[in-house]
Chain A
Amino acid sequence: MTSIAFKKKVSMSFAATALLLLASGFVFAPSAFAASTEAATSGSYTIAIICISAALAFGVGALAAGMAIGKVGSAAMGAISERPEIASQALIFIALAEGLVVFGFITALMILGKA
């Protein structure tokens, strides 16, 4: 496998992870939609807006984390291919990027707590 193919595979796997996270974000969507319908029928949009906000906070966070991990990960792979001993240090930077989705998740939970 050429290094470009390897690099593409790594980027694609990171992108796939991001998509998976984003998709899991939308797991909230049906309940949000159901809640919003219920809320709408009861004449209040508040719950619907809260649920959509929570889904957005998580979804956008996941998307951003996916993009960041794609870039940090590809640079990390470049460095690790030359110096395998720095793998653990490189993983720290990937974890930092992954923090974005955690912040999104916490924010989503906090928003849902307001409902």
Chain B
Amino acid sequence: MSKNPTSLYGFINAKLRARIGLMRESHIIEDLLKAKSVVEAVAVLRDSAHSSVATAYDRTGDIQQMELALLYNEVEMYQEVAKFLEGKPADFVRNLLGKIEVDNLKNIIRLWYGSIIRRRPMRFRSEYLFKEKLLNEIDWTALVNATSWEEVCQTLRNTPYSEVVNAFTEQQLDDEGLFVLENKLDQQWYAQMMVSTERLSAQDKGVAQSVFLVDIDLKNLLMMVRYGWYHKMDKEKLETLFLPWGKVYKHKSVLNFVQSPVQERDPFAVIEQLYPGLNDALKQISEEKRGSIHQDELMALQNLRIEAYLHERRKAVYRKLLASDPFTIGVSLAYFFLYKEEDTMIKAILNGKYYGYEEDYIRGVLA
């Protein structure tokens, strides 16, 4: 018998809300930014919830080991929340771990590709991979050590990724690179999540889909600008990159954009219809920077602006979730988002300190 939402979410949502409160009160990001060196930054982490990161630094003195420790913390966080839930919501949270699994798989395939196809020595880089079980039984070590693509496919044969990897050949990867394969793996995860949201209760489904559809719109818009406009990808390839959900995918202007000849594509006309506020900001960048920087740099800046705008929209969705019904999956999703946001900032600051950047410069990058 499924529990009612109050019993199911009462305990975990109160726990997560308390943690969100602690996150908001904490000055960890500010203290990290003010640290004069990476050693001082590590000292800040030592007295926080990220003490394992400091331990990793003490043990190895290696910035990438610290990033790996942050990844372990993130995985633990998802597993902990799933443990306190039951039934479909617990499965849903476990499926969220699938994104980390897909990213880990992509990292390993990249290493394998560099080593076997491009003949670049892997050296110590395999030490920075996550090698524990996430969602599916995958022998990560066997994957890293595979000597051919067939061996990679063989290692993944009893996993959901088998079909995707089997659709590619070593020759194809050699010719075209990993981009399409990686995109297919991402698409598979999104498809799995959309199925997972369908299984949730009506209220949870509404909440989860509101989050995912914003995320999917973000991905599709970036695909359109980056690959459709910046890289001038042809129609057939571009169509396969889109995630088939959300308002961007279904919008008529996006369809027209994809159909039109590469040289005539105008992403700003599409953005004007979908996100008028963003278009104004992009036009402002063009006017300010025109003539002073190269066209490629201008496009990169515009890309960053789109990412920042969509991140703000995502943030607004999560803020709304925290202010709405406390007995839904929304609180967990908001917590995951805030945790990841803090994680990303910690990684960026640690890297900044490690490479000797000034506090103001790092602040600028984070903004």
Q: Which residues of chain A have C-beta atoms less than 8 A from B22's C-beta? A: 82-83
Interface residues in A50-98 by Cβ distance below 8 A to B read 71-72, 74-79, 81-83, 86
Chain B CB within 10 A, most for which of A4, A7, A78: A78
Q: Nearest-CB distance from A4 to chain B (Å)?
A: 7
Q: Which of B6, B11, B12 has the most CB of A within 10 A?
A: B11
The answer to whether A81 and B15 touch across the interface, beta carbons within 8 angstroms, is yes
Chain B residues bordering chain A, tally (CB within 8 A): 15
Task: Provide the bound-state CA to CA distance between A66 and B74, in Å.
Answer: 37
> Given contacts A71-B6, A71-B7, A71-B10, is CB(A79)–CB(B83) below 8 Å?
no
**Shortest distance from the beta carbon of B25 to any chain A beta carbon, whole Å:** 10
Whether A3 is near chain B, meaning CB under 8 Å from some CB there, is yes
CA–CA, A3 to B14, complex, Å? 14
Q: Is the CB of A78 within 8 A of B14?
A: yes
Cα–Cα distance between A74 and B13 once the two chains are bound (Å): 11
For B21, the closest partner residue in chain A by CB is A83
Q: Across the interface, do B83 and A78 meet the contact criterion of CB distance under 8 Å? A: no
Q: Chain A nearest CB: distance from B50 CB in Å?
A: 16
> Distance in Å from the Cβ of A77 to the closest Cβ of chain B?
7
Shortest Cβ distance from residue A3 to the other chain B in the assembled complex, whole angstroms: 7
| CB atoms of A79 and B15 under 8 A apart | yes
Docked pose: A83 CA to B13 CA in angstroms? 14
- A7, A72, A82: the one contacting B18 at CB < 8 Å is A82
Partner of A75, one of B14, B19, B21, B83: B14
Interchain CB contact under 8 A, B18 and A83:
yes
Inter-subunit contact A75/B84 (CB<8 Å): no
Across the interface, name the chain A residue whose C-beta is closest to B15: A78
Q: How far is the CB of B277 from chain A (nearest CB, A)?
A: 37
Chain A contact residues: helix, strand, loop or mixed: helix
B17 in contact (CB, < 8 A)? yes
- B7: chain A residues at CB < 8 Å are 71, 74
Interface footprint category on A: 10 to 19
**Do A78 and B12 contact each other (CB < 8 Å), given the known contacts A4-B83, A83-B18?**
yes
The residue in chain B whose Cβ has the minimal distance to the Cβ of A76 is: B14
**A86 adjacent to B18 (CB under 8 Å):** yes
Q: A3-B84, A4-B83 are in contact. Are A79 and B17 (CB under 8 A)?
A: yes
Q: Return chain A residues, CB-CB under 8 Å to B6.
A: 71
Q: In the complex, how many angstroms separate the beta carbon of B14 from the nearest chain A beta carbon?
A: 4
- A7 near B21: Cβ-Cβ < 8 Å: no
Residue of A nearest to B19 (CB): A82
Given the complex, which residues of B lie within 8 Å of A77, measured CB to CB? 11
Q: Is the CB of A78 within 8 A of B21?
A: no
Report Cα–Cα, A76/B15, bound state, in Å. Answer: 8
Interface of chain A residues 1 through 52 with chain B (CB within 8 A): 3-4, 7
User: Which of B11, B13, B17, B19 interacts with A7 by CB under 8 Å?
Assistant: B11
Picked from A71, A72, A82, the residue with its CB within 8 Å of the CB of B15 is A82
User: Are B11 and A74 in contact (CB-based, < 8 A)?
Assistant: yes
- What CA separation (Å) do A76 and B10 show in the bound complex? 9
Complex formed: what's the CA distance from A74 to B11 in Å?
5
Q: Which residues 12-55 in B have Cβ within 8 Å of A in the complex?
A: 12-15, 17-19, 21-22
Question: With A and B bound together, what is the CA distance between A72 and B6 in angstroms?
Answer: 9
Query: A79, B10: Cβ atoms under 8 Å?
Result: no
Give the chain B neighbours of A83 by CB distance below 8 A. Answer: 18, 21-22
Query: Using Cβ atoms and an 8 Å threshold, which residues of chain A touch B17?
Result: 79
Interchain CA distance A7-B17 in the complex, whole Å = 17
Write out, one digit per residue, whether chain B residues 52-86 have a CB within 8 A of any chain A CB (1) or not (0). 00000000000000000000000000000001100
- State the CA gap A7–B86 with chains docked (Å): 14
Closest to B4 in A: A71
Complex CA gap A105/B156 in Å reads: 65
For the complex formed, measure the closest distance between the CB of A8 and the CB atoms of chain B, giving whole angstroms. Answer: 10
C-alpha gap A78/B20 in the complex (Å): 13
Instruction: Determine how close the nearest CB of chain A comes to the CB of B350; give it in whole angstroms.
Output: 25
Could you show 8 A-B contacts with beta carbons less than 8 Å apart?
Answer: A4-B84, A74-B7, A76-B14, A78-B15, A79-B14, A82-B18, A83-B18, A86-B18
B-side residues, CB < 8 A to A, are 6-7, 10-15, 17-19, 21-22, 83-84
